[in-house]
Amino acid sequence: MPTYKAPLRDMKFLLNDVFDYPKHYASLKAGENATPDIVDAVLTECGKFCEEVLSPLYQSGDEEGCKLEDGDVTTPSGYKEAYQQYMMGGWQGLSAPEELGGQGLPASMGLLKQEMMGTANWPFSMYPGLSLGAMNTIQLHGSDEQKATYLVPLTEGRWGGTMCLTEPQCGTDLGQVKTKAEPQADGSYKVTGTKIFISSGDHDLTENIVHVVLARLPDAPKGTRGISLFIVPKFLPDASGGVGERNGVTCGSLEKKMGIKASATCVMNFDDAKGFLIGPENEGLNCMFTFMNTARIGTAIQGVGPAELSYQWALEYAKERRSMRALSGKKEPDQVADSLIHHADVRRMLLTQKAIAEGGRAMLYYSARLADHMVEGHLEGDDKKAETYDDKLGFLTPILKGFLTEMGYEAANLGVQVFGGHGYIREHGMEQIVRDTKIATLYEGTTGIQALDLLGRKVMLMTQGGAVREFTLRISNFARKHVTNKKLRPYAWELLKLAAQWNVLTVRLMLNARKDRDMISAAAHDFLMFSGYVTMAYMWARMAVVAADKLENGGEESEAFYEAKLATAEFYYDRLLPRAQAHATSMLSPTRNLMQLDAEHMAFTD
Ligand SMILES: Cc1cc2nc3c(=O)[nH]c(=O)nc-3n(C[C@H](O)[C@H](O)[C@H](O)COP(=O)(O)OP(=O)(O)OC[C@H]3O[C@@H](n4cnc5c(N)ncnc54)[C@H](O)[C@@H]3O)c2cc1C
């Protein structure tokens, strides 16, 4: 079975040449230490850890899964040792402030780390990933005492974290949360209820687990306005900040699920567990959403990762496996047959994977710059700056999360297809990537909910189309600069047309929605996918511009590397981007074709 190879050349091309991260880091306070040498060293070391430690555990972790015995969850063999190495390497605190024991590097460097770890072994990467969610929440909304108690052990990775939102009756509609929190005389709360599907709810990797829990105070208003946020540690911290008494929170069972089997997904029972309020009463959901944009970029990685991994393995296989002769004549006459890579249809699949992986990576790195500015605003207490970048990022996050995870799932499926029947057999690992990737379109807000967030909230309600106007202006300005360049003109023209079309579609949907409210839900998915294809087209054009320039003037990379970029850009524009037009047509079609059928008449099986 092949292993993961960190795509450092592609990462550096994007960081150094396309998005000029050296200049970006030089403009940030947290970027002071992110000199090109340090960035290089971090990428190389992290790549090594992912290739040598995490990747070999990917398949064995799936085979073995997690176990619940006598109330304690154990992770698959090798996970504990790998986590120790992760912790000792200081990886958890890479982007955390130095005063908390972190390395103080920019948030985007944490994303680069997450990308490599998540691609090598997504289920493993979920344990520290969830801890980051808890760290961010406490850092932004916790009291000074809570920060002093929890942030250092979380940053060091000695303690883990979870996000406990979902309950049996609700995942999307958190207004239905029932878990109760009763105030106690000492200022703490007794938390009682059941949470399901809790990632990293219990495990043997850390000495304590800090649950961040949504619950309802007595007499709280109904719905989302009556939800508060609590810290409920597995072990209560003792006076010296160490691990003290066991709290009333236990793992009731492990969910049996389709994929990510090495990630413990737990039913968590809170039974008069001692909890501590974070942030103001009844504003728990707002507090959760503050860091949602970064968390969702984190999940968007799960679109890029599987595309990359599945592509790496499918490419290797397509070069080795032989089947029939290429239609244009024998390519390897001294062999019994030509290898798969010579067949156009196999190339269609491979290049689709490549275009998604590299185009998706570019979307992530483009957005990670915005995240750096947003985090800097938060850390400096500059609310205006934080809000400005949160808005910019807020528009892109549903596109990243929704579009990239759908595309990642498509790429993973194509990986199975390249292997033919062997892709369906567990030994090769290709079907595992499909099973592991499907969850990305479901948690952290399903694709449908991302689409509603984009069209309904970010585009229509919050900005009346302004978010699309602002982003498309950026695209048009870029395209206009390159429209006279013979090589780049086709991309520039296409982008100018698409930018205009995106605005027209937005206005038409806003007008239609005034007459028919179902229009928003009916059009949202197509709008999200259209937005994703155009954003990725913008990224491919940006990569093409740099590649063309480097070919003419020379760059760090080989000519073949830049030529491959140009060839992939051409493939994307000619073969994947046309899908955007099908989405454009579909989103404007009347809601009648969805709503006219009576629910009773959906099937006639009785
Ligand atoms: C492996 C795994 C790990 C998870 N990890 C965690 C975790 O760590 N912490 C945590 O709190 N939760 C976690 N979850 C829960 C996950 O976030 C939810 O399952 C997810 O948010 C969807 O909620 P739901 O399952 O209740 O689906 P529902 O909300 O019931 O949705 C069902 C379908 O209806 C659609 N839908 C719902 N409402 C609307 C609407 N208003 N308009 C249009 N369509 C709608 C959805 O898009 C979806 O397609 C995890 C789930 C799994 C499976």
Contact 235, 245 (CB under 8 A): yes
Q: Is 92 helix (H, G, I), strand (E, B) or coil?
A: coil
> What pLDDT was estimated at residue 255?
97
CA torsion sign, 296 to 302 to 304 to 305? positive
Q: Whose CA is nearest to atom 35 of ligand 1?
A: 448
d(CA 141, CA 136): 8
Residue 98 falls in the annotated catalytic set: no
Ligand 1 atom at minimal distance to the Cα of residue 449: 47
Express each pLDDT in 481-521 by its tens digit: 999 999 999 999 999 999 999 999 999 999 999 999 999 99
Ligand 1 atom at minimal distance to the Cα of residue 130: 8
Q: Which residue has the tokens 């090495």?
A: 262
CA of 373 to the centre of ligand 1 (A): 30
d(CA 360, CA 308): 10
d(CA 418, CA 337): 17
> What pLDDT was estimated at residue 295?
67
Contact 234, 211 (CB under 8 A): yes
CA of 446 to the centre of ligand 1 (A): 6
- Across 251-261, average pLDDT: 98
* Helix, strand, coil share (%) of the chain residues, nearest 5: 60, 10, 25
Q: Whose CA is nearest to atom 24 of ligand 1?
A: 171
CA of 177 to the centre of ligand 1 (A): 13
> What pLDDT was estimated at residue 378?
84
> What pLDDT was estimated at residue 293?
62
Provide the CB-side half-sphere exposure for 17 (13 A, CA). 25
Ligand 1 atom at minimal distance to the Cα of residue 195: 11
Contacting residues for 220 by C-beta, under 8 A, at least 6 apart: 226, 227, 228, 281, 282
Express each pLDDT in 148-193 by its tens digit: 999 999 999 999 999 999 999 999 999 999 999 999 999 999 999 9
Give long-range contacts, CB 8 A cutoff, 24+ apart: 560-569: 561/9, 561/13, 565/13, 565/358, 566/487, 568/351, 568/354, 568/355, 568/358, 568/540, 569/491, 569/540, 569/541, 569/543, 569/544
DSSP 272: E
Pocket of ligand 1 (CB under 6 A): 163-166, 170-173, 197-199, 257, 260, 265, 439, 442-443, 446, 448-449, 452, 521
pLDDT at residue 347 is higher than 70: yes
Express each pLDDT in 6-35 by its tens digit: 999 999 999 999 999 999 999 998 899 999
Ligand 1 pocket test target in 131, 446, 452, 527 with most atoms within 8 Å of CB: 446
Residue 153 is encoded by which pair of tokens? 């052990």
Q: Whose CA is nearest to atom 38 of ligand 1?
A: 172
Q: Which secondary structure element, helix H or strand E, spans residue 230, and what is its range?
A: strand 228-233
CA-based end-to-end distance of the chain: 49
Ligand 1 pocket test target in 173, 449, 526 with most atoms within 8 Å of CB: 449
Name the residue among 64, 114, 60, 75 with its Cα closest to residue 92.
114
pLDDT at residue 569 is higher than 80: yes
Among residues 99, 444, 552, 559, which one is catalytic? 444
